[in-house]
C-alpha cells in the first residue's frame, strides 16, 4: 500500500503542499479555517510527516525537552499528557528532565551551548532559578517558560492569573460564611513567586471582604506536597485560635491537611473547610472530594507547544509574549459537604 504523501493531503484539503507544510510545521500564517481543513485531511488519510527527511533538511533534531522540578507531582504529569500529543501532532518527540529544583542543574540546561544536537527548544518550569537568573541564558535557545516567571521579551511565558485564581478560592470560603481563613504554602524567598502570587490573592480576598489578615495563619512550606500540608495543618490546629477554613496552595497540600484533620477527629468541611489548587485527578476521588482551582492544563500545554515550535521554525526573531490560560473554581465536598 502506497504511503500517504504531503501532496495527497494537499489535494484532499484543496490547498497547496506549501500550506500543508506550514500547518505541519506550526507556522502561524495560516487561517484557522484552513488549518482545520488541513488537520481533517491529515486525520482522514492518516498522514505522518517524514520527520527524518525534515530534520536532515533543517539541521534540527526533531525533539523538544520539557523541564520540570518534580515528576512525582501530579500537576506536571497531567500537563505532560497534554504537551506530548500536541508536540507529536507537529512531528516532534518530547524529552523530559527533572531538576529537583536544583539551581545549578537548571542553569546548565539553559546555558550557552546547552542544546547542541539533543533538542531544538525547551518548555521550562523553573524552581531553582529566579527571574533574574533567566536573563543569563543561551540567547539562541528557543524557550517557553511555565509558572510565574514573566517574559523579559526574549522568551514566551504561559500560565494563569494566580492572583485572581487565589482570590476566587478564598472568596469562595468567605461566601460560605467562613471567617477565620488560613493559608498553607507561602514561600517568601526569591524563587517562590508562585506561592507569593497565591498569597497576594489570599490577601486581596480578605481586603475585598473587609477582613484583616492574621499573619500567624499564613504557613510557609518548602514544597507543595502532602507531607508539608499535613505538618502545616497540625501547626494550625495547635494555634490558640485555629481556623475554620484553609486555602491550600496545591491539591497535594490539601490532601495532607485533610489527613491531619481526620487524625485529629475533625470533620471536613463541617469543622474546617479546605480548598486546594491545580485540580489533579486524585482530588476528584479523595474522601471528601477536594474543592479546587482548575487551571486549563490542556490550553497551557497547547499554547506552550505552539509557541515553542513557532520559535524553533521561525527565520526571524520572535518577540516574547505573555499568554494566559483560563481558570475556574470547582466546588466539591471539602467546602460544600456531601449533599
Q: Using an 8 Å Cβ cutoff, are 335 and 274 in contact? A: yes
CATH topology of domain 162-295+329-336: Rossmann fold (3.40.50)
Q: Is the pLDDT of residue 248 over 60?
A: yes
Q: Is the dihedral of CA 151, 100, 193, 160 positive or negative?
A: positive
Whether the per-residue pLDDT at 61 is higher than 80: the answer is no
For residue 54, how many other CB atoms are within 10 A of its CB?
A: 15
Segment 275-307, tens digit of pLDDT: 999 999 999 999 999 999 999 999 999 999 999
pLDDT of residue 222 exceeding 70, the answer is: yes
Distance from the Cα of residue 37 to its chain's centroid: 30
**Is the pLDDT score of 254 beyond 60?**
yes
**288 upstream amide cis, omega within 30 of 0:** yes
Say yes or no to pLDDT of 319 above 80.
Answer: yes
List the Cα angle 76/336/283 in 5-degree steps.
20
Share of residues in the chain with pLDDT > 90 (%):
65
**At residue 232, does pLDDT exceed 80?**
yes
Distance from the Cα of residue 91 to its chain's centroid: 22
Exposure string for 123-161, b = 16+ CB within 10 A, e = fewer: bbbbbbbeeebbeebeeebbbbbbbbbebeeebbbbbbb
Q: Is the pLDDT of residue 224 over 70?
A: yes
**Where does the pLDDT of residue 67 fall: very low under 50, low under 70, confident under 90, or very high at 90 and above?**
very high
* pLDDT band (50, 70, 90) for residue 17: confident
* Model confidence, pTM: 0.81
**Integer Cα distance of 304 and 145 in angstroms:** 8
For the chain, give every residue range classified as CATH 3.40.50.2300.
63-160+296-327, 162-295+329-336
- Topology at the third CATH level for domain 63-160+296-327: Rossmann fold (3.40.50)
Q: Give whichever of 38-47, 256-265, 315-324 has the largest mean pLDDT.
A: 256-265
Domain span(s) for CATH 1.10.260.40 in the chain: 6-49
> Does the pLDDT value for residue 193 go beyond 80?
yes
CATH superfamily of this structure's domain 6-49: lambda repressor-like DNA-binding domains (1.10.260.40)
Residue 116 has pLDDT above 60, yes or no: no
CA distance 182 to 180: 7
Amino acid at each position: 500500500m502506497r504511503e500517504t504523501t504531503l501532496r495527497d493531503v494537499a489535494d484532499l484539503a484543496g490547498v497547496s503542499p506549501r500550506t500543508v507544510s506550514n500547518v505541519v510545521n506550526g507556522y502561524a500564517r495560516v487561517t484557522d479555517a484552513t488549518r482545520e481543513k488541513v488537520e481533517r485531511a491529515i486525520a482522514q488519510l492518516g498522514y505522518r510527516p517524514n520527520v527524518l527527511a525534515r530534520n536532515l533538511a533543517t539541521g534540527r533534531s526533531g525533539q523538544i525537552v520539557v523541564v520540570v522540578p518534580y515528576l512525582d507531582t501530579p500537576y506536571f504529569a497531567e500537563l505532560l499528557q497534554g504537551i506530548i500529543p500536541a508536540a507529536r501532532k507537529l512531528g516532534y518527540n518530547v524529552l523530559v528532565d527533572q531538576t529537583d529544583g536544583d539551581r545549578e542543574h537548571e542553569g546548565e540546561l539553559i546555558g550557552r551551548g546547552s542544546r547542541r544536537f539533543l533538542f531544538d527548544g525547551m518548555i521550562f518550569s523553573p524552581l531553582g532559578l529566579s527571574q533574574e537568573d533567566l536573563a543569563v541564558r543561551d540567547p539562541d535557545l528557543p524557550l517557553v517558560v511555565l509558572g510565574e516567571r514573566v517574559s523579559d521579551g526574549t522568551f514566551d511565558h504561559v500560565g494563569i492569573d494566580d492572583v485572581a485564581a487565589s482570590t476566587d478560592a478564598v472568596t469562595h470560603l468567605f461566601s460560605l460564611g467562613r471567617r477565620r481563613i488560613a493559608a498553607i504554602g507561602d514561600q517568601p524567598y526569591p524563587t517562590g513567586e508562585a506561592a507569593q502570587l497565591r498569597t497576594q490573592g489570599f490577601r486581596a480576598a480578605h481586603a475585598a471582604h473587609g477582613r484583616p489578615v492574621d499573619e500567624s495563619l499564613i504557613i510557609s512550606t518548602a514544597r507543595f506536597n502532602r507531607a508539608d500540608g499535613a505538618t502545616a495543618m497540625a501547626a494550625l490546629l495547635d494555634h490558640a485560635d485555629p481556623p475554620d477554613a484553609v486555602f491550600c496552595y496545591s491539591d497535594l497540600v490539601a490532601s495532607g491537611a485533610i489527613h491531619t484533620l481526620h487524625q485529629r477527629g475533625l470533620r471536613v468541611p463541617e469543622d474546617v473547610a479546605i480548598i486546594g489548587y491545580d485540580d489533579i485527578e486524585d482530588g476528584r476521588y479523595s474522601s471528601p472530594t477536594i474543592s479546587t482551582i482548575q487551571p486549563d492544563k490542556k490550553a497551557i500545554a497547547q499554547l506552550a507547544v505552539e509557541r515553542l515550535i513557532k520559535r524553533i521554525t521561525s527565520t526571524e526573531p520572535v518577540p516574547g509574549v505573555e499568554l494566559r490560560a483560563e481558570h475556574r473554581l470547582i466546588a466539591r465536598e471539602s467546602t460544600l459537604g456531601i449533599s
